[in-house]
Structure 1
Amino acid sequence: MNKTELIAAIQQKSELTKKDTEKFLKAFEEAVTEELANGGKVQLVGFMTLEVAERKEREGRNPRSGKTMVIPASKAVRFKVGKALKDSVNK
C-alpha cells in the first residue's frame, strides 16, 4: 500500500473528505517526525512504538577493498510492533 492508497483507505473508513484525510496524514507525519527529531518516542499502545536509538562509532570493512574504515556514530529509528497488531497479523 502506498501513500495514495493509504489516504483512500483512511478516507473510506473515516468518511472524511480526501482533502481532510491528506491534511490529517501530513499532520501525523510532521508530529511524529518532530517528536523523533527531538529525541522523543511515539507510542500507540497495542499498535506500535517508534523511538530513536543511538549507534556508536565503530570499525568496519570496505567490502570491495577489504580496508578497515571508521563508521561514524549515527541515530536510527527503531520500530517495535504492538501486541494487538502482532496478534491480528498472526490470526
Structure 2
Amino acid sequence: MVSNTVTRAIISTAACETTGLAKGDVAAISQRMFELIGDALKAGDTVKLTGFGTLQVRSRAERIGRNPRTGTQHKITSRQTVIFTPSAKLREALDNLTGR
C-alpha cells in the first residue's frame, strides 16, 4: 500500500475550491486555527473537534530506552506529549475502509 501525505497546502487548495474563498483568506483562517489549537494545548486544555477527534496533552513518565542497533540502555526523560483520539464517527469510517 502506498502512503500519501496530505499537507497544509493541499488542504488549503481543497478548501479554496470548495468554498470559493481566496487562497490568502483560507491561509489566514487556517493559520489562526492552528495557532488557537496550539495555544489551547500549551495551556493544558483538551481540544475537541466534533466528528474528527480529540487532542489532549498527557505526561510521559521517565523510562529506560534501548538502542535497537547496539542494545545499550539510556534514560529517556519525562515529557509532555499530544495524544490524538479519533471520534467514533472517524473510527467507524476508517474501519469501513479496511473491511473490519
Q: TM-score higher than 0.5 here? A: yes
1:31-55: CA deviations, max 9, x gaps? 1111111111100122110011110
Q: Give 3-state SS (helix, strand or coil) of 2:84's partner.
A: strand
By relative contact order (CA 8 Å, sep 6+), the higher-ranking structure is: 1
- The alignment's TM-score, normalised by the length of structure 1, stands at 0.86
Q: Give 3-state SS (helix, strand or coil) of 1:76's partner.
A: strand
- The alignment's TM-score, normalised by the length of structure 2, stands at 0.80
Aligned to 2:41: 36
% same residue: 31
Pick from 10, 15, 26: which aligns with 1:10?
15
Q: Tell me the number of residue pairs that the alignment of Structure 1 and Structure 2 aligns.
A: 91
Segments of structure 2 that go 5 or more residues without pairing to the other structure are 1-5
Give the whole-Å Cα distance in 1 for the aligned partners of 2:19 and 2:28.
Answer: 13
RMSD over aligned Cα atoms: 1.6
Paired residue type of 2:19: S
Aligned to 2:84: 79
Give the superposition deviation at 1:60.
2.0
Q: Give 3-state SS (helix, strand or coil) of 1:53's partner.
A: strand
